[in-house]
Copies of this chain bind each other. A is one copy, B any other.
Amino acid sequence: MLLGSHLDSVPNGGRYDGALGVVAALHVLLAVQASGLQLPLALEAIDFTDEEGTLVGLLGSESLTGKLTLESLRSPRGGREALLAGLERAGLNETELVLARRDPASLVAFLELHIEQGPLLERAAVQIGLVTGIVGARSFSLLFRGLAGHAGTTPMDARRDAGLAAAVFTVAANELVVRDFPGCVATVGDIRLEPGAFNVIPGSARVAIECRSLDLAPLDALESALLREAHAAAAMHALGVEATPVGRWEPTPLDADLRALVGRAASGLGLETMELSSGAGHDAQALAAVVPSGMIFVPSDGGVSHDPREHTSWAGCVNGANTLLRAALELSGSYAD
C-alpha cells in the first residue's frame, strides 16, 4: 500500500501543499514500526517529483503508472533544456524515467493526505474531507481581432474595440457559470491588449479562460457555453474570434470503497467528515488510473494556497496524519481477515 504526495512547490508557494502528505506518510511508517505490529501487507511512503509542473507536471506519479512516454517528454511545459538539466542533476535520463513504471498488481491502494487549498472545510468547521474526485478542466486561449484606432478621433459607434469584447466576454463568462453551472468554476486568468496604450483603441485581445467540473456532462456543457459567449461578444462588436485549446483534463473519480474506509477511520477518531471534490490536480489522479486511490483533505486557513501565507493548524495536520494511519491499518486489517 502506497502513502504519500510530493515535496516540490510552485514559485513563491507555501509549506503544506504536498509536503504534509509526504511527512505524514513517513510518520505512519514510523508509528507502525514503533508499535511492533506485523501487517499482512507492506506500507510504502513515496515522494513524487515535479507534481506542480515546473518541468512536466505529475512527472513522478505518471512515471510510476507508466503513462509517461518519450513522446510526452519531447515538449515539456517547463522547456526541454530545463527537463534535461533536472534529470542530469538527479543522475537520471529519459529512458530510466519511462522504465520506472511499477506493476500495478504490486499495489493494493494509494492514499494521499493533502491540504484542501480551498475554503470549504474551514467554512463548514469540519476536520476531514473525503475527496470524491478530482475535477476535469478545459482551457482556451481566445484571440479577439478588432481594429486599432485613435482613441480621440474614432467615434464610439465606429469602433471595433477588441478590449471591450474581451471585457464583455469576461463578465458574461462569470455570470454564466454562477447562474447556470452550480459547483463548477470558470476563470479569466489573463487579458492582453494590443497595442495597449492610453490613446489607442485595442486592435486585438488575448484572453486566457479555463473551466473545471467534477462531472463530465456539465464540463462539456460549460465549455460549449463559454465558446458561444466568446462568439457572441465578438459578434456584438463586429470582431472575429479564434479559440485555441490549451489544456484538457477529464474528471477523475476516486475509489468509493477506499473513501468509505477513510470515513470510518476518521469517525473512529471522533473527527467530523464531509465529502468534497478537489478543484486542483494531484498525484492521486495519475494513480487512480491503475490502482484504487483516495485522498484525505484537511482545512487550509482561508483556503489560501500557492502563497507563502499558506497555513494549516498543527491540530489539523495531526488529524490528517492520524486518519491516514488508521485508514492504512483498517485496510491492512481487511487483508488479514
A interface list, Cβ under 8 A from B: 116-120, 135, 137, 139, 148-158, 161, 163-164, 166-168, 170-171, 174, 177-178, 185, 187-193, 196-202, 208-210, 212, 246-247, 278-281, 303-307
For A178, what are the chain B residues with a Cβ–Cβ distance below 8 Å? Answer: 156-157
Query: Per a CB cutoff under 8 Å, which of B119, B158, B199 touches A187?
Result: B199
Q: Does B197 contact A153, Cβ atoms closer than 8 Å? A: no
Q: Does A198 contact B155, Cβ atoms closer than 8 Å? A: no
Q: Does A118 contact B153, Cβ atoms closer than 8 Å? A: yes
For residue A245, give the distance in angstroms from its CB to the closest CB of chain B.
12
Q: Does A163 contact B150, Cβ atoms closer than 8 Å? A: no
Most buried by B among A161, A188, A306: A188
Q: Does B212 contact A208, Cβ atoms closer than 8 Å? A: no
For A200, what are the chain B residues with a Cβ–Cβ distance below 8 Å? Answer: 187, 189, 306
For A188, what are the chain B residues with a Cβ–Cβ distance below 8 Å? Answer: 163-164, 167, 202
For A163, what are the chain B residues with a Cβ–Cβ distance below 8 Å? Answer: 170, 188-191
Q: Of all chain B residues, which has the CB nearest A141?
A: B198
Q: Does B189 contact A201, Cβ atoms closer than 8 Å? A: yes
Query: Per a CB cutoff under 8 Å, which of B153, B161, B189, B193 touches A190?
Result: B193
For residue A220, give the distance in angstroms from its CB to the closest CB of chain B.
17
Most buried by B among A171, A190, A306: A190
The 9 A-B residue pairs with the shortest CB-CB distance, nearest first, are A152-B279, A118-B153, A167-B170, A153-B279, A151-B187, A167-B167, A190-B196, A117-B153, A152-B280
